[in-house]
């Protein structure tokens, strides 16, 4: 039976020969720094070698948690009412034990949104998200991705080289989400500028202010001039609370749908470029996009370690005792590759076998949209640049440090220079019986009316710190 340490470094009672704690103080494994980022699977393997299902880890110096590497244990926690998503169960946080400038705090502290709530409160907030996402037209979404992809590709096509992370994967989801959220062009441009700068770590205070004010302006504009877009649908939903909670809903959707999406696009593109299993397109065969995406989700999910939970009371599960007050970090990456479950050996496992989308009440509500964006982005890239290839040896690529994500720093490529004019994208087939979709008009587009002047609202800088300061991965 394993007894992980609590967040104060105190060891709970351990059975003799406990593989996690041993004797004396438990060994705490750091999940930060370049060593972990370079080869996290080596760390998971070492932890798994102890025979334990859960392990004491540090998310940053002085911030402790319990990392679950067992597929069965992680899945049961996701499904069990004995574990909560509400960070107000976190003893260190509630006692003021975390500094305000903690790098992991923005990803873990409580906000009034679906991600950090349970029970009826969660169901109400989640229903808003489900209803809103259900209105998104996947045919229009594909068109948005193709248009954004062509704009970005045209910017580097004549040069014969690009960094697919900075120049493509990290910008494309932002542009698409601006369209989905109905941002007027002025506000949309500011959000792209501010979020891109935040992800890059450029002038975070200024960038944070740009994005915060941009979202406030967007909500004010859509309150006055609603349209057929995600922001308007959130604002008009009968179950959506008003005020600051609206901003938290939008930030949650944008944060969860942009940075992880960028990393999924980048890592899946790397698979096609460097993994012999997916390199068929170099022989004139279309790249196996779906296979590469599913491979990333199973082996290197963009959110590698997250799904933070808290035991409502001291709980024993699969011979592990989880104390109250300590963050329980579910390692989707390690669980997906747990040999005890046979997933790692099953090369034919479908995407439903892995936990990259989480499971239970908090399972990702935007799987269809996320897969559509990633697939279309990669498809468009290789269609426009069929001879794209890595510009460096794969072994020299660096990964951004951080305990939660799996994210490339850069992805340098080369290709034959091409004209800036995008090849015609053709029509996207509309719903059955309607033929091809016509010109991109109507729902989910920039309104023709310019936005009103910024309203006088006191910006809550913490709203953006919640997601974006950590999403850029510079801790």
Q: Encoding tokens for residue 199?
A: 């992800």
Q: How confident is the model at residue 247 (pLDDT cuts 50, 70, 90)?
A: confident
Q: Are 264 and 370 in contact (CB under 8 A)?
A: yes
- pLDDT tens track for 285-313: 566 899 999 999 999 999 899 889 999 99
The yes-or-no verdict on residue 391 having pLDDT over 80 is: yes
User: Of 415, 412, 409, which Cα lies nearest the Cα of 387?
Assistant: 415
Q: What is the pTM of this model?
A: 0.81
Mean pLDDT computed over 435-454: 34
Residue 415 dihedral angles phi and psi, to the nearest 5°: -165, 170
Q: Residue 30 in 3-state DSSP?
A: strand
What ranges do the domains of the chain cover?
Answer: 29-471
Percent of the chain with pLDDT over 90: 53
CA distance 259 to 417: 28
Give the confidence band of 194 by pLDDT, cuts at 50, 70, 90: confident
Q: Using 50, 70 and 90 to split pLDDT, how confident is the model at 352?
A: low
Q: What is the DSSP string of 326-346?
A: S-EEEEHHHHHT-GGGTTTT-
Handedness of CA 240, 245, 248, 250 (dihedral sign): positive
Calculate ∠ Cα 218-223-229, nearest 5°: 65
Q: Under CATH, domain 29-471 is a member of which superfamily?
A: Cytochrome P450 (1.10.630.10)
pLDDT at res. 285: 54
Q: Which residue, among 141, 134, 135, 140, has the nearest Cα to 438 in the 3D structure?
A: 140
pLDDT at 253: 85
Structure tokens at 59: 């998310």
First to last CA, the chain: 34
pLDDT, tens digit (0-9, with 9 covering 90-100), for 79-106: 999 999 999 999 999 998 888 778 788 7
Closest residue by Cα to residue 27 from 45, 1, 4: 4
Pairwise CA distance, residues 117 & 126, whole Å? 10
DSSP-H helix ranges across 90-243:
91-94, 105-108, 119-133, 138-156, 172-180, 185-200, 204-224, 230-236
Across 397-420, b (16+ Cβ under 10 Å) vs e yields bebbbbbbbbbbebbbbbbeebee
Q: Output the DSSP codes for 47-92.
A: HHTTT-SEEEEEEETTEEEEEE--HHHHHHHHH-TTEE--GGG-HH
Reduce the DSSP state of residue 40 to 3 states and report it.
Answer: helix
> What is the Cα Rg of the chain in Å?
22
Task: Please state the rounded mean pLDDT for residues 444-455.
Answer: 35
Asked whether residue 469 carries a pLDDT value surpassing 60, the answer given is no
Residue 4 has pLDDT above 50, yes or no: no
Q: Side-chain half-sphere of 7: how many Cα atoms within 13 Å? A: 21
Q: Is the pLDDT of residue 22 over 50?
A: no
Tokens linked to 236: 């008009």
CA-based nearest residue to 304, from 402, 166, 378: 402
Q: Are strands 412-414 and 389-390 parallel, antiparallel or unpaired?
A: antiparallel
What are the tokens at 133? 């996402």
Residue 150 has which token pair? 């062509």
Mean pLDDT over the full length of the chain = 80
CA distance 342 to 334: 13
106 φ/ψ angles, rounded to the nearest 5 degrees: -60, -30
């Amino acid at each position: 039976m394993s007894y992980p340490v609590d967040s104060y470094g105190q060891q709970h009672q351990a059975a003799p020969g406990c593989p996690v704690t041993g004797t004396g103080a438990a060994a705490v494994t750091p999940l930060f720094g370049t060593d972990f980022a370079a080869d996290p699977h080596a760390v998971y393997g070492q932890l798994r070698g102890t025979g334990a299902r859960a392990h004491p880890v540090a998310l940053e110096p002085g911030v402790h948690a319990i990392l679950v590497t067992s597929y069965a244990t992680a899945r049961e926690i996701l499904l069990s009412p004995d574990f909560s998503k509400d960070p107000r169960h976190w003893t260190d946080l509630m006692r003021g034990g975390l500094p305000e400038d903690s790098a992991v705090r923005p990803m873990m502290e409580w906000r009034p949104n679906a991600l950090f709530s349970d029970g009826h409160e969660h169901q109400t907030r989640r229903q808003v998200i489900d209803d809103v996402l259900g209105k998104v037209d996947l045919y229009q979404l594909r068109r948005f991705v193709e248009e954004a992809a062509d704009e970005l590709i045209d910017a580097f096509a004549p040069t014969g080289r690009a960094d697919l992370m900075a120049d493509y994967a990290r910008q494309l989801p932002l542009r698409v989400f601006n369209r989905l959220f109905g941002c007027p062009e002025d506000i949309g441009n500011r959000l792209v500028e501010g979020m891109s700068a935040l992800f890059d770590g450029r002038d975070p205070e200024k960038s944070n202010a740009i994005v915060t004010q941009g979202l406030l302006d967007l909500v004010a504009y859509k309150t006055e001039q609603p349209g057929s877009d995600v922001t308007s649908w959130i604002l008009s939903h009968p179950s959506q609370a008003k005020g600051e909670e609206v901003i938290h809903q939008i930030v949650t959707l944008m944060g969860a749908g942009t940075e992880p999406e960028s990393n999924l696009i980048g890592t899946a593109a790397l698979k096609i470029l460097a993994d012999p299993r997916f390199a068929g397109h170099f022989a004139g065969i279309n790249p196996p996009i779906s296979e590469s995406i599913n491979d990333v989700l199973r082996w290197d999910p963009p959110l590698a370690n997250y799904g933070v939970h808290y035991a409502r009371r001291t709980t024993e599960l699969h011979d592990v005792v989880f104390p109250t007050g300590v963050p329980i970090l579910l390692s989707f990456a390690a669980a997906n590759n747990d040999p005890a479950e046979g997933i790692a050996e099953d090369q034919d496992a479908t995407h439903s076998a892995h936990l990259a989308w989480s499971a239970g009440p908090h399972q990702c509500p935007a799987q269809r949209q996320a897969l559509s964006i990633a697939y279309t982005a990669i498809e468009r890239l290789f269609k426009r640049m069929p001879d794209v290839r890595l510009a460096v040896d794969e072994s020299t690529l660096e990964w951004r440090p951080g305990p939660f994500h799996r994210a490339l720093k850069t992805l340098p490529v080369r290709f034959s220079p091409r004209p800036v004019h995008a090849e015609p994208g053709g029509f996207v087939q509309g719903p059955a019986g309607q033929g091809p979709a016509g010109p991109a008009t109507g729902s989910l587009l920039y309104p023709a009316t310019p936005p009103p002047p910024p309203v006088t609202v006191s910006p809550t800088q913490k709203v953006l710190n919640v997601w974006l300061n950590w999403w850029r991965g510079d801790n």
